[in-house]
Structure 1
């Protein structure tokens, strides 16, 4: 079964957002060393104290970007085809993230945004 594996927060001021979430939730947020853009990885903790869902903060590139949940799939190509088949839309084409895998941005039939992620490096 597919699960949410990652979330992205879009911010006008990345460092301001970083400070906000660190102080609000106690999240550990560190700069992603190999990214082509200013990107910060978020480490969350579940109530049990175990590692929670990971996330990130990046500069907002276009209006309307907010928080995007990424759902892990076995094959991003198959998932993209199925999104289209079911009436959804691909709004950000498949792209590679070094040392992680592939992502794509989508909208469902109701206009809700979500991401797909195929993890190839574990």
Structure 2
């Protein structure tokens, strides 16, 4: 696959893992995806481990912030959406019913970011790139392939992101595994992320709205087997979803949840 050189506004462009055991998580994902790491000093004794595929950044693994753990927030994957002007986005978030959880800040010379909560409650990062555009490799084994918002009100979520980012929404664009329908966020006429109502069993468990990440793999069954063999837990699949490919959803040994997808045959 060609190297990604830029992302348009509204496109999820980067993911990183906040984990309770960074060395163990690095070993787990290296086993599943073949990742190698470049460790960077992020200050205050924190190491930000950039996952690489053939030398190109694919994601990152970092220690979870102590205040998150104290609040009972489990390890999790974070989604970053590219924007042209993160300060303008920060001003607009509360106007649309969201909250800015971390004000705009520069991340060295890599870029500028905020942490926000959308109008339904899902936490997401917005990223204005400088030297770091995000993932430079996509849609190959071990690389990010898709993100989606799991929400309790897909229409409200769609309105928030479309108005905030000035992008289109394809409503009820495709079926979901539970038989309902899924909205898609559209950038320059192409889908970049999905918005899906959470199944009733997750709502009954009190699972809050959140973003999910999916990585492309050559063989979803083999990756699910490797996850189980290395301390992970597979929740779903792998299931053949026809044109969507074969999907598996699981959690790593520290509890962070993620999905994998292998493309449909042919």
Which residue does 2:95 correspond to in 1? 85
Which residue does 2:37 correspond to in 1? 29
In the superposition, the TM-score normalised over structure 1's length comes to 0.84
Alignment check: 8 A CA contact 2:111 2:130 kept: yes
Larger radius of gyration: 2
- 1:44 shift after superposition: 4.7
* Structure-2 separation of matches of 1:92 and 1:83: 12
Which residue does 1:48 correspond to in 2? none
The DSSP-based 3-state class of the residue aligned with 2:17 is strand
Runs of 4+ aligned residues of structure 1 deviating over 6 Å after TM superposition are none
Which residue does 2:126 correspond to in 1? 116
- 1:99 shift after superposition: 2.2
Alignment check: 8 A CA contact 1:5 1:54 kept: no
Q: Which has the higher contact order (CA 8 A, sep 6+)?
A: 1
The DSSP-based 3-state class of the residue aligned with 1:19 is helix
The DSSP-based 3-state class of the residue aligned with 1:83 is helix
My pick for the range that moved more, 58-67 or 10-19, is 58-67
RMSD between superposed Cα atoms in Å: 1.8
Q: Cα distance 1:23–1:98, how it changes in 2: closer, same or farther (>3 A)?
A: same
Unaligned 5+ runs, structure 1: 46-50
In the superposition, the TM-score normalised over structure 2's length comes to 0.40
Q: Cα distance 1:84–1:54, how it changes in 2: closer, same or farther (>3 A)?
A: farther
> 20, 23, 37: which is aligned to 1:15?
23
- 1:82 shift after superposition: 1.6
Within 5 Å, which residues of 2 pair with 1:35-114? 35-36=42-43, 37-44=46-53, 54-61=58-65, 62-63=68-69, 64=73, 66-114=76-124
* Structure-1 separation of matches of 2:81 and 2:58: 12
The DSSP-based 3-state class of the residue aligned with 1:104 is strand
Alignment check: 8 A CA contact 1:14 1:57 kept: yes
- 1:27 shift after superposition: 1.9
Summarize deviations over 1:41-91 as a string: whole Å, max 9, x none: 12358xxxxx6x732111111132511100010000111112111111111
- 1:111 shift after superposition: 1.0
Alignment check: 8 A CA contact 1:28 1:42 kept: yes
* Structure-1 separation of matches of 2:98 and 2:80: 15
- 1:112 shift after superposition: 0.6
